[in-house]
Structure 1
Amino acid sequence: MSNLKNHINRLSRDTFSLNYNLDQGIFGTFDLSEGHKDSVKVHENLKFNTPVEELLYTIYDFTVLQNKKAAKEKFQYLNDEFNTDNLLSDPSLNLLYLVVKLKYFILNNDRKLYKPIYNQIRNLPTSINPSVEYIHHKTLGIYYYRTNNFLQSTLALDNALSLAEKLPYLSENDKAELYYQVALTKLKTCDTYESIFFAEKALTLYQSLYNNKRSAECHIILGINFNHSKRQDFAEKHYLSAKNIGETIEDAYLESMALHNLGCIKSYQKQSEEAICYYLESLKRKREEERSVYSILGLVEEYYFLGQTEFSKEWAEQGLGLAVRTDLKEYILHFTAHIYLLDKDPELELYIQQEVIPYFKNAGNERYTIKYTEMLAKYYYQNQQFKLASEFFNSCLQNIKSKTSY
């Protein structure tokens, strides 16, 4: 019993923290930018068998370049000028069509259309064309990331990386996008050093392409990883680089991401008042409502640490309402769990066991799995259920040991 009590006393916000959203200040591929308005073709060295095939690769190129307007025009032209039903006779071309269509919908954040297209893709055979298979696996990796299935995202992106090594005609833009997405997925699965490796590769390419916005996003990913690995000095440098780029190109969202994550550093350093200031400044710059949940969650956490539970609950309720309106399942879980915690509601136990932990385990998000396991362990300890507390603390510690970057 004394050992368990000593462990409780040693707990700090570094290990048991409500600050679960360190890696939520950045979205997956296609979310953040209008894009690099470049007309360079990603697959200009490929030889095409039909005009439709060439057009599909052109649309794919524009999604890689984040050019929504051009992609929309070409997609509309495809639908107007060609009978897409005829694509069904060629399985490989049909697969390319559906994969490019999925990538186009992801570019435009048409979440309601993701699943039907994915189901069609899943029922098709693989292609013998390595270029089609590369686009196939890369796009699925992005799709799985966007639908919070990080284990499947990892597998798909690993396949894309292997195929990329065999495709000599991939552009720097295409490779940069792939490395960027791999870095994001590795961030979610707590593979910190791999995430750093791929984020640095993506950053080098984006800097050589003079893509300032994506360079800033890479700085954010690197900062988050260094914060997770307890290198706040490096993290701060990357966040400030992103903030400076945001100010230079007058991008309010880049500034808001940098400010949010600077707040996360202050939270880690137990400087709650300063963290709150950063989160509030970040909220002021957010233009898209659903992205406000990240900084709102930060405010919930910091007011909780300060013992100002009324403010914490007020922000949690506001965040929950926003998460419900924008259908953000992950944040519905976060805010609901926090409200139960603040209310000392006994529903917390079953909610974490049956809803929260299974969700993050299935997603492959080990960081949140560890955090909520520890929250439940502390709940049991506070309710003098010491055997259960010991079991959950042990489970938490074993998971931490398996991820040295945690």
Structure 2
Amino acid sequence: MVRGGPHLGILRGSVVKNRRLLSVAIGFLLGVYPTPPAHTDYEEARPSGGALRIGDTIKPSIINPILTSDTISIHLLDLIFNGLVKLSDSLEPIPDLAESWEFSGDGKVWTFFLRKGVKFHDGTEFTAEDAKFTYEKVLELRGPISPAAVERYEVVNRYTFRAVLREPYSPFIYAMTWPIAPKHLLEGEDLEKASFNRHPVGTGPFKLAEWTDDDRIRLVANQEYFEGRPHLDSVSVVSYGPRDMLWAQLILGKIDLVTLIPPEHFLFVRPPKFKVYTQTSPFYYTFLFNLRDPLVSDRRIRQAINLILSPERIIEEGLGGHGQPCTGPFLPDSWPYNPDVVHPHDPDEAARLLDQAGWSQRGWDGIRIKDGRRLVISLLMDTDDELKLSAAQVMHQQLWEAGIDLEVRLIKPEILIDQYLRTGRFQAALLQFNAGIDPDFARTFWHSG
């Protein structure tokens, strides 16, 4: 399982910032990878030991690699468990619990050769049985791979695990990042009700020491970790509810790290009390057109909007400089990304296209008109993203300067999806998409077939 999302954190003594990316693509794509500032004032040494105390506003959910899908528990999975493979800084698969792997010439059979002597936190050795158990359960629950894609999983021997696919599937290796659960503790259990969910046991660098009734979690270093003892002695998570309370605990020094901090709060985050780090989040903002709409079905309108909008200006004015342009649905540091592709910003060419489409006249307010109708684009977006709204405000200004009126409508996320997007009742929408780590992930959204 590949996890990620807009992640912005403040660390007492150091501050973690999240990068966001922004891109405009011809015809239908305006992406933003939203991101806080990309710099740090510190090159720090890494002293050994110490405890990290993380604060959050939401209580953790269960911690079970087969079921967990939300809250900070997702991030704790990475500390407690391992997958067969993990991702490098450039998002390429590298060995984790599997030392190596190979696949058949037809791409249907993947064989993983596992590390020997790796122990779960209770002392039981990890084997191919655990991999088979986990991935079969994940398959039942429709995890990252469709059940139709996998024919079967096999235990070749104690340290060799095999997956047989019905057809070649190039992103399959990324599904093997899904963390492995211990078969001996979960086999035959009701996964939803298993005591394991509050007493997780994995192979990872940290193991659970305490989970209190008020949902305070403390992890301690796994001294026997196969890659060596982790740097920290312990990691703790405490939930405080309202964000104001969370900030107060940070200022008082009772926690070290908080996440999902809005950019306007950076004004209060200054050295020497805090440090700032940058992390790119795997999301981009998309200006999505409904091609069934009579107005934006005209390619010249879409192309003009694409040429008018400047990602650099949106990032600077709307996101406070906390972003990074992109030119497609791939992370800039990932292998599918093409740095030679650039986004064209040409208001003059946009004006020519609009004139050609018949929107050559201007009204008293500067907005283009055609047959007595003003050139207005209705843009829907959800109510839960202040950064997205800030970006939309800058888009409104850029388009107004070019003679296009952008009407922004804020709608609750569940209503936006069910009543507007799925039914096609929209002209344009500003949405957030996962950039993914393989071109096939982008194909899910953008392929017309």
TM-score (norm. length: structure 2): 0.28
TM-score (norm. length: structure 1): 0.30
Which is strand-richer, 1 or 2?
2
Which is helix-richer, 1 or 2?
1
Structure index of larger Rg:
2
